[in-house]
Structure 1
């Protein structure tokens, strides 16, 4: 199935860790050894100043992360394609009481120049006050911000008194593509808070809010409880992350998904009638195919139509590779495409 990486199952090592954590009793709400060790694991990734707060899901991670950054009369810059804007059912605005300001996306990425017209709102009493820049890494189009691009965003934020939030639902795929160093990619350049995903890369459930700016950390424990994201049996979230980080399983899973996407992209070039819409940078492909191919291909491996009738007779579809996709899955899918292409 190529619909989404959250359609994949749970990695066996994570399931084994859950079974192990199920032995005996442990204190609740994070006062257990598993959670303490998970926090140390995040510190090893992001640096000693990082504090992590485990939560249930990605929307929860985003709203909890942002709640610690702004007040209700302030605003968040985000992409018009962002999960925050499109796929969280208004939860950020409802929970934060703040405004989302959308910016045009260029292959998923925002441009600093598009924020310039809103700088005049600063200090103007009739306007929501810009306070946060939120970007997805990787983006909803599978693209990644290079380190110099992230640095430019953080520098811009500092000049104007903004904070920087990373929606990292697929941060694993981005980090695998960029070299695997979270401290260098995020902490050292001035990112304030990261929503760190796991569910799309082999966890059963569980994400983390990783607060990199020590000046912002004090209230996040209460914000998490207030936001209904504090797990009573926290050890079962933490145990998953311990398995996830052990021997860099998280990066191995993500790198494999990225390789499968690159392999599929390479073979798509040999299929007449299929057109890759954007370069394959991580584990997501956007491909334009004839409408007549959609139903039979979905029988082979289900996927979502991203932009129906992108041009007459064709639609853009999204193909997402997961940690458990195999070369045989790719070959079977391409084989079906070739049969359809030759009639």
Structure 2
């Protein structure tokens, strides 16, 4: 499984009061000094007749075009993606924890595609940061996690204010006891969107790299011919929605597996859409889902999680996306 937006005019009453006062003053001047009255009349002709509610020059509306131009000039530029972040936090599930990569039924974070230190894996962190990753790398993923666990992980990651957060989630949401028990697309979107919103609110400058969910159907295709794989999947009850009765090729079994694949594709559409709404989020464009992994990339312990070579491929795919000059949003 390679896997949050005038000008003021005088009121009519106020303008009438001002006009009445002005008229009274003009009448008084006219009675006592005809020449002054004549001059006053000339001034009125030059300035134009006064009318109730007329706006003074300082009260006139600003030209909308000028206002818009000024707004555009003042608008902040879109934040630029940093292709060489100096700190990384990883959130997600057992894939990012390196479960069953180094040993049976155990996490192996040193072999994680995102934050591992194993030279054979060449993790994303190792490629971006080099060997000095102390206090600059945090693996907060949890074995067994699904998307409902992601907001809490995102909050923990935000406390470190990392320059980059990696996300790989969704396989466990599809790997339910049966098709009916898979996480709904609506719930998946709500939890993932909340996670992105939390990161953006609590660590505004953090970049987010989102991996697509791996193609579980390909996993079945690669292992279903192996007696060992089928036995392990059955005994350990691994991803029953896809892998149960792995040797069964009946129409009903095929329909079940296809339903799981369609749900994974729907999850990936959610990841792409939500990520596209955030200026500092990059989705892998389906790179992990489309990757044609083989049994050689799988754990020798469970034929499900990535082995060392599988973790290495995940790291390579992530690095390619993170250092790209153009953001992948689809």
TM range (shorter): 0.3 to 0.5
The structure where strand makes up a greater share of residues is 1
Structure whose CA Rg is larger: 2
Report the TM-score, using the length of structure 2 for normalisation: 0.33
The structure where helix makes up a greater share of residues is 2
Report the TM-score, using the length of structure 1 for normalisation: 0.32
